[in-house]
Structure 1
Amino acid sequence: MSKTRKNYPAKFKAQVALAALREDAPITELSSRYGVHATVIHRWKKEALAALEAGFAGKLESRADAHNAEVRDLHAKIGQLTVERDFLADGLRPVAVRGRQEMVDPSNDNIGIAAQCRLLGISRSGWYYERRGESADNLALMRLIDAQFLQTPFYGSRQMARHLRRQGYEVGRTRVRRLMRLMGIEAVYQRPRTSMPHPGHRIYPYRLKGLTITRPNHVWCADITYIPVKRGFLYLVAIMDWASRKVLAWRLSNTMETRFCVEALEEAIARYGPPEIFNTDQGSQFTADAWTGVLKENGIAISMDGKGRWMDNVFIERLWRSLKYECVYLNAFESGLQARRDIGRWLAFYNAQRPHSVFDGQTPDDVYDERNFVSPASGLPPPPNGSGGRALHPEKQNHRQAA
């Protein structure tokens, strides 16, 4: 017996989409709260963002109505084969199954849902299937995995499963591997490829080899981490200045998309000006055109960790370790609102009050402001504290404590 498809009123869709756009709660919690499948909430969120953009561009669209009418007439004559080819040309095929399911557009009048599923290589029944959120047991395991990963970041799924079994949890490697992928974490060790980029995105060269980094806004870096909350999890991105370890901007999101990373990047550039170089790993958020486009528009050289550069993320990894032990795990966030509030307070404390041994007890704000200051008499910035006026290149800086 076929399952009747649910039809939701527009007002209800707008309410759920607005809740998702606020990003105060995980998608799983919103799914439970409103009784709507997580994939549907993802789609409504994207449709709401697209509708907002279209609304602001309304004047331009009205001027082009006559031209668009002609274009539509021409497109109607192209035929179904050309429409399907253009649909595939959007680069959707390399995306994971869940991502491809989210890209199905039921409002597309040219290609039906069955045809879209066939072209994307997924089953139509799989698209309609309503997945359950992660169980309480899995959320508890994710919390344990996250805590252990901070202690032993070199643990892969096999060692992590062994660790959990020693703690009395009957789990297999497959389950642990799935949860680690969901959390966006993987073992940190030297190997040819430590991050899998999007197959359709360009990879940029690594620019920090042999480079001395002594001043703020010379090199910035960014990374994403998992933040557990009561009914699910959120993702946190931070933009950090390499020389001072100052967190320049951050964002929380209930989906691991490029948009919230770009928002943090744009805020950091607006507040502090563009750096000379921006270094990241090869994650799909940092190879996306939306991210690299902002860097190019601001004249920023793009650098990406490559072969043999597994240590370059160590500064921001230490930030995550401090944040989770000093804030996240002590507070056990009940909601996204609490997470945003408490993380914001801790990051403000980290920048302005938390001393760093590598800077002889100075805070990131102190170092950032001091090294940005140029003496009127000499026209040169003062030598960096803790290094005797000698610059350190990334390989040597990585071996100094940043606690």
Structure 2
Amino acid sequence: MIEGDHPELSVGAQCRLLSIARSSFYYALKGETEMNLALMLLIDKQFMETPFYGVQQMTWHLQNEGNAVNVKRIRRLMRLMRLMPIYQKLDTSRPAKGHKTYPYLLGGLRVDRPNQVWCADITYLPMRRGFLYLVAVIDWSTRKVLAWRISNTLEADFCVEALNEAVHRFGPPEIMNMEHGRAIGSSGQATSVQPVHVLRLD
């Protein structure tokens, strides 16, 4: 919304008109530190061997290996990597009191044609010097990847770009299926994605 080279309005004037701080225009997201990237590689390697390790067990393992870490840091990194330990969980499927229940539109639905149901999900790709995040939009009927994007941050923009490309190339689907998620908005703050499993596009 702000044009850095506007012929009449300065950046400060545009920010005042939009009621936002001027510093937000120059804000740039910062990646993970070298130490955190190294820890994420260690976590990934250990999790491949012991996928039942939770936050506490992973913290103990890294501490025993000589790493100065605490539970808080490992919890944040494992959430960022979307690692969930494999173990029998308690009955937590019952919604909390006052929690809004959203309809699940795919129950009993027969998916038998293209553009009927799409899904989108994000995963991370461990690299030599860090991580990249991959989002893919897939057609449930054909199993075809309709669009994908890679990003080095969890900004929401690359997810929106992938969905826009898929819609532009193939037209909108009848239903868009998504998981709960976490994204980084343009302000740099982490925000939870609206907990809607399925969105019907009319």
Map residues 21-100 of structure 1 onto 2, 5 A cutoff.
50-51=2-3
Which segments of 5 or more consecutive residues in structure 1 lack a partner in the other structure?
1-48, 63-71, 76-82, 88-103, 109-126, 194-201, 289-294, 302-403
Cross-structure match for 1:236 = 134
State yes or no: 1:300 paired with 2:201. yes
Residue in structure 1 matching 2:71, options 167, 173, 186: 173
User: Secondary structure of 1:238's match?
Assistant: strand
Instruction: Give the letter aligned to residue 114 of structure 2.
Output: P
* Structure number, greater radius of gyration: 1
Whole-Å separation in 2 of the counterparts to 1:179 and 1:279: 26
Whole-Å separation in 2 of the counterparts to 1:231 and 1:278: 34
Shift of 1:262: 0.7
Q: Deviations over 1:363-397 (max 9, x none)?
A: xxxxxxxxxxxxxxxxxxxxxxxxxxxxxxxxxxx
What TM-score comes out, normalization by structure 1 length? 0.34
Q: Deviations over 1:281-327 (max 9, x none)?
A: 12244846xxxxxx98xx626xxxxxxxxxxxxxxxxxxxxxxxxxx
Whole-Å separation in 2 of the counterparts to 1:240 and 1:251: 12
State yes or no: 1:209 paired with 2:107. yes
Root-mean-square deviation (Å): 4.4
Whole-Å separation in 1 of the counterparts to 2:61 and 2:77: 15
Q: 1:257 to 1:132 in 2, by over 3 A?
A: closer
Which segments of 5 or more consecutive residues in structure 2 lack a partner in the other structure?
9-15, 95-99, 184-191
Between Structure 1 and Structure 2, the one with more strand by share is 2
Q: Is the 8 A contact 1:251 1:260 kept in 2?
A: yes
User: Secondary structure of 1:233's match?
Assistant: strand
Map residues 257-336 of structure 1 onto 2, 5 A cutoff.
257-285=155-183, 287=193, 300=201
Whole-Å separation in 2 of the counterparts to 1:150 and 1:246: 28
Shift of 1:178: 2.5
Q: Is the 8 A contact 2:31 2:153 kept in 1?
A: no
Shift of 1:133: 4.8
Instruction: Give the letter aligned to residue 210 of structure 1.
Output: G
Cross-structure match for 1:158 = 56
Instruction: Give the letter aligned to residue 278 of structure 1.
Output: M
Q: Deviations over 1:198-226 (max 9, x none)?
A: xxxx9853222222334333222111122
Instruction: Give the letter aligned to residue 240 of structure 1.
Output: I
Whole-Å separation in 2 of the counterparts to 1:156 and 1:105: 42
Map residues 372-383 of structure 1 onto 2, 5 A cutoff.
none
Aligned residues: 173
Cross-structure match for 2:23 = 106
Between Structure 1 and Structure 2, the one with more helix by share is 1
Q: Please identify runs of 4+ aligned residues in structure 1 that moved more than 6 A.
A: none
Shift of 1:280: 0.9
Q: 1:132 to 1:281 in 2, by over 3 A?
A: closer
Q: 1:271 to 1:204 in 2, by over 3 A?
A: farther
User: Secondary structure of 2:124's match?
Assistant: strand
Whole-Å separation in 2 of the counterparts to 1:132 and 1:252: 15
Cross-structure match for 2:81 = 183
The share of aligned pairs that are identical, in percent, is 51
Cross-structure match for 1:251 = 149
Cross-structure match for 2:40 = 142
Instruction: Give the letter aligned to residue 206 of structure 1.
Output: Y
